[in-house]
Structure 1
Amino acid sequence: MGKQIFKGRYTTENDSDIVVFIIGMRINRRLAIHKWLPVFLAMPSMVKELYTHQEELGFLSMESFFGLRTTVMIQYWNSTENLLTYARGEKHLKAWKAFNQKVGNNNAVGIYHETYQIKKGTYESVYGNMPLHGLSKALPHIPIGKEINNARKRLKVDKKGTK
């Protein structure tokens, strides 16, 4: 059984500050499994922890994508402080320490992350005939009506681009 598809066009509220955190890894040497597999396997337990303690951590939601060499996780948080607090937490620090001990500056596997602080009213989203995805899993999911039927209206900007 698949995810529920919401027929029609939907958007999300944009009345809260949010943090978008993109994190991933890249396998640089495919045959060096002993180097990149521990990095790959460290993430599921952290994801489980995030969803188990979602509200208290300030974690909103996430999406994961897997390519031939690269994985990426897009996470949504309610504040930078909550994200940084989690980064200093026991489970993350243990995984980070293990990565540095096992991989360090070895070029078999790379990791990356990017953090974006987004102010309320400065983002918008559209989902057409989709299950809950991305921000719609993290924020209120609302049908698009006449009053918000284009990006300019959802962002509350005039034709000059000002609010």
Structure 2
Amino acid sequence: MKITPGRVTHQYDGELVVFHIGMTFNQWWRPDLYLPVFFAMPAMMRELAEDPDSGLLGYEFLFNRRGPFAVQYWSSAEKLYAYASAGSMSHRPAWTRFNAMARKHPEAVGVWHETFVVERAESMFVGTPSMGLPKATKTVSVDKRHHRARTRLAEGATTLPASLQTAERPA
């Protein structure tokens, strides 16, 4: 695991959408019902990552006490909606399967999502592996003037001055 040295933030121009999507294991003893839902998400992420025009900028898989979830970064809400409704892509058939299962066993597994269209964002990562917004967009070094979150947010970290746009997006 490669650690990004120093203090870095992200840089991105354009619409930025943060999408949280997850599931809850309401009946942990029913893996026959929740495992198909659980395994659908990685397949969708691979499909999106392989298509540079999908609008997906990056993602992180996480887990909380209720179950797994993903934080996704998108270039536009329209591209997110287009993927969600495209019958030729993996999401729509997976959603149809989930709905059929949920009608029979509504208590077994839950799904949820939240969508945020971000006007301005600020981020700070110090001595971490590449992750979050810098991984999904472009990683830039933070100069002394921008060490405070208040300053980065006031200036809109999604549109940092050209003098800070020195580091490239990690592979």
After superposition, residues 49-60 of structure 1 pair within 5 angstroms as 49-53=47-51, 55-60=52-57
Alpha-carbon RMSD across the aligned residues, in angstroms, is: 1.4
DSSP-derived class of the 1:23 partner: strand
Give 4+ residue runs of structure 1 displaced > 6 Å after superposition.
none
> Which position in structure 2 is the counterpart of 1:135?
133
Which of 75, 78, 84 in structure 1 is aligned with 2:75? 78
The TM-score with structure 2 as length reference comes to 0.83
Give the Cα–Cα distance (whole angstroms) in 2 for the partners of residues 23 and 47 of structure 1. 12
> Which position in structure 2 is the counterpart of 1:22?
20
Greater Cα shift, 88-97 or 71-80: 88-97
Structure 1, unpaired ranges of 5+:
158-163
Paired AA for residue 20 in structure 1: V
DSSP-derived class of the 1:98 partner: helix
DSSP-derived class of the 2:53 partner: helix
Give the Cα–Cα distance (whole angstroms) in 2 for the partners of residues 106 and 139 of structure 1. 38
Identity %: 38
Structure 2, unpaired ranges of 5+:
156-171
Give the Cα–Cα distance (whole angstroms) in 2 for the partners of residues 101 and 6 of structure 1. 44
> Which position in structure 2 is the counterpart of 1:154?
152
CA shift, 1:155, in A, is 1.9
Instruction: Indicate conservation of the 8 Å contact 1:63/1:75, yes or no.
Output: yes
> Which position in structure 1 is the counterpart of 2:96?
97
CA shift, 1:66, in A, is 2.3
DSSP-derived class of the 2:27 partner: coil
> Which position in structure 2 is the counterpart of 1:6?
4
The TM-score with structure 1 as length reference comes to 0.87
> Which position in structure 2 is the counterpart of 1:47?
45
CA shift, 1:153, in A, is 1.8
Structure 1 residue 88 corresponds to structure 2 residue 85? yes
DSSP-derived class of the 1:123 partner: coil
Greater Cα shift, 32-41 or 99-108: 99-108
Give the Cα–Cα distance (whole angstroms) in 2 for the partners of residues 123 and 93 of structure 1. 30
